[in-house]
Every structure is written in structure tokens, then in C-alpha cells.
Amino acid sequence: MPTTYSDLLRFAKQATSENSGTWGQILNTNTLEILEDAISRVATVSATGSGDLTLSTQNGDVDQARCPVLKFTGTPTANRNVIIPALDKFYIVHNACSAAFSMIIKIGAGATVSFAQNERGIVYSDGTDVHLVARVNANGEVSNVFDNAITSTKIQDNAVVTNKINNLAVTSGKLADDSVATSKLQNLAVTDPKVNSDVYTKARQIPLNSQSTNYTFALTDAGGHVLHPASDTTPRTFTIPANSSVAFPVGSAITIVNMNGAGAITLTINSDSLALIGSSTTGTVTMQTNSLATILKVGATSWVVSGVNVV
């Protein structure tokens, strides 16, 4: 019986008692060396010109179609069909051509996969069609790992939770200006059920700072409210510090609540100016029991105050 060849990679299969005296040479050259090609060889294929480009196939000898990596070079003048054998096989493909034309991997009339200039990727053949596994575009970005490989049904509910994201892992410095635009958010993509209720709760709350003694406002009070409780019937002085000592940003606002039954609050300011809206009063104002006021910084050293039961 003469030598036959394997179906997929065309290795030589010598018959019993065949090739006496040369059997080892044929094994080395026609099987082992081309097995190495099938595992590791990069086939550099010139794609210069146009028309179909059929990879070479040789039984028991070096060929292009056996190699796992196909690197296309040269200067094609059109997109080129690259015809591979109608066999089970995978390839790593690299279109390294110097002209902007695509290499289209195909088997006869079956499904094809196209690689533009400078694209790389992995494909496999089932003997009829060519299927894309992964693609890397010209910028080195993985642009496709199977079509629609990651879908909502493949991500379990609650699979991504806060304890799986490092604290401060996403910072403003890692988001380019305007990188999240309205055009990138589908309509109704963010809905009430998709935002934890705590997010709304914290956004609606005004932080509380309860004080039952004389008090000087701190930067942490901005955007919150300072409460003088009813249980403290002693008159108190609440002081706005000078800009030179505590530089509140312009636009800072603090609400003061003097509960019913609490002692009066004298609201004063150090060196800078405080004006009571709706009157000519400046400097120091009094918050009577059961009153509410908001102070707002309107300039580097200027504050205004407005409220109920404030004189």
C-alpha cells in the first residue's frame, strides 16, 4: 500500500514495510517538519495584484494553507478573496498590505470574513463557512469578539456591584471632557428601578448640624442646615467667619433653623459684610425663636441673609 496523507493537515502516512531505508527521512521531512509548520509557522503571502488568491496546498510538503498565521503583504490593487481549503481549520490573519484594500477569507460560496488594511483577527473554518472569533482594528482595539457576544442575558442580575469596583476607581481625570453625551445614552436607559433608592435619598437630604452652644460656621456647613434645638433655651451667637480665615466659595449657602422654644440667635459676621434682604439692616441680625434663615455668600467678603422672624 503506498503512502497516504491525513485529511486536514496533509501529513504523510507511510504504509507498513514501505520506504525501506528511507522511512526515517520521510517521517522527518514529510510529517514532523510540516507538523511544526502547522503549529508555529507564519506564512507570509504576497497579495500584490488583484483577483482571487488561493493558498497553496501540498501533500506531505510545505504549503501556505497549513500554517496557523497568515500575514498578507505587498500592494493589492483591489479587495482580494483569499481561498482557503474546505476543511476544519483556524487561522490568525494579519492584513499588513501597503494599500488600503481588504483580504476576504472564504471557502467557495460560504460565509466570509473580511480584514481591512492593518486589521488582525482570528477566524475558523468548518469546511463550509468562515467564522470570526475576534478582530483587532488598526488602532489596536478589540472591535469584535463574536457578534453580540455580550448580551444582557449573559450578565446575571446584580453581577456588577459596588464592592466589585474599587473606591474612586473612576475619577473625573479618567473621563475625557464631554465623553458621555446625550447621544451616547439611549432614551430611558437610566430609570428609577436602575438607581438604588439611597441615591435619591442622599440627593434630597440637606445635611444636619445641631448646635446648642455659640458656634462659628465651617466649610462643611455649606449646602446644609444648622439646627438650634428647642431644648436649648439659652440665647446663642452664630458667627460667619471672615473670608481671610475661612474662604467659603461664592455661592455657598447655609440654612439656620431656630426651633420654637429655643433661645434667640444673634447672627453676626467677622469683618466682612452681612445684609438683611428687604431692609437696611447690615452687620448683625437676630433670629427670634421659631425662625428660619438662609445666608448666601454673594461676593468674596459679602453675605446676604433672608428668612422668617429675622430682624
Q: Which residues contact 305 (CB under 8 A, 6 or more apart)?
A: 267, 274, 275, 276, 277, 285, 293, 294, 295, 296
The pLDDT assigned to 23 comes to 84
CA 66 to the chain's CA centroid: 38
Whether 30 maps to a domain, the answer reads: no
Domain-located, residue 186:
no
CB contact at 8 A, 103 and 82: yes
Shared domain for 227 and 132, answered yes or no, is no
> Quick check: 299 pLDDT over 70?
yes
pLDDT of residue 261: 96
In a domain, 134, yes or no: yes
pLDDT tens per residue across span 136-184:
988 888 866 554 555 555 556 665 555 555 555 555 555 555 555 555 5
The answer to whether residues 112 and 210 belong to one domain is: no
Exposed, middle or buried: residue 45 (CB in 10 Å: 0-12, 13-18, 19+)? buried
Q: 44, exposed or middle or buried, with CB in 10 Å at 0-12, 13-18, 19+?
A: middle
Half-sphere exposure of 197 (CA within 13 A, CB side): 0
**Mean pLDDT across the chain, nearest whole number?**
87
User: What's the rounded Cα separation, in Å, for the pair 65 and 142?
Assistant: 25
Residues 120 and 210 in one domain: no
Q: Which of the listed residues 116, 145, 174 is the one where a domain comes to its end? A: 145
Same domain, 128 and 208: no
How many Å apart are CA 4 and CA 1, to the nearest integer?
A: 9
Closest C-alpha among 274, 209, 297, 299 to residue 310:
274
pLDDT at 87 exceeding the cut of 80: yes
The answer to the question of residue 221 being in a domain is yes
Q: Tell whether 197 is covered by a domain.
A: no
Write out the three cell numbers for 128: 463550509
Q: Are the beta carbons of 77 and 97 closer than 8 angstroms?
A: no
Tell me the residue range of the domain where 257 lies: 204-310
Q: What gap in Å lies between CA 311 and CA 302, rounded to an integer?
A: 18
Domain end among 127, 145, 163: 145
Q: Is 24 contained in some domain? A: no
Alpha-carbon distance of 92 to 235, in angstroms, equals: 82
243 domain residue, yes or no? yes
On the question of pLDDT at 96 being above 90, the answer is yes
Q: What is the CATH number of the domain that holds 248?
A: 2.60.120.640
- The reported pLDDT for the residue numbered 205 is 81
Question: pLDDT at position 164, please?
Answer: 53
208 & 138 share domain: no
pLDDT confidence of residue 46: 97
Determine the Cα–Cα distance for residues 76 and 276; give it in Å rounded to an integer: 80
Q: Which pLDDT score is estimated for 235? A: 97
Q: What is the pLDDT of residue 1?
A: 61
* Average pLDDT for 246-250: 97
Residue 112 within any structural domain of the chain: yes
Overall number of domains in the chain: 2
pLDDT in tens, 21-70: 888 888 888 889 999 999 999 999 999 999 999 999 999 899 999 999 99
List the beta bridge partners of residue 291: 258
pLDDT at 140: 82
End-of-domain residue from the set 145, 166, 188: 145
- Give, for 39, the enclosing helix (H) or strand (E): helix 33-40
Q: What residues have CB less than 8 Å from 146, skipping those under 6 apart?
A: 132, 133, 134
Q: What is the pLDDT of residues 193-215, one digit of tens each?
A: 554 555 455 556 889 999 999 99
Position 95 pLDDT exceeds 90: yes
pLDDT digits (tens, 9 = 90+) for 101-146: 999 999 989 999 999 999 999 999 999 999 999 999 888 888 665 5
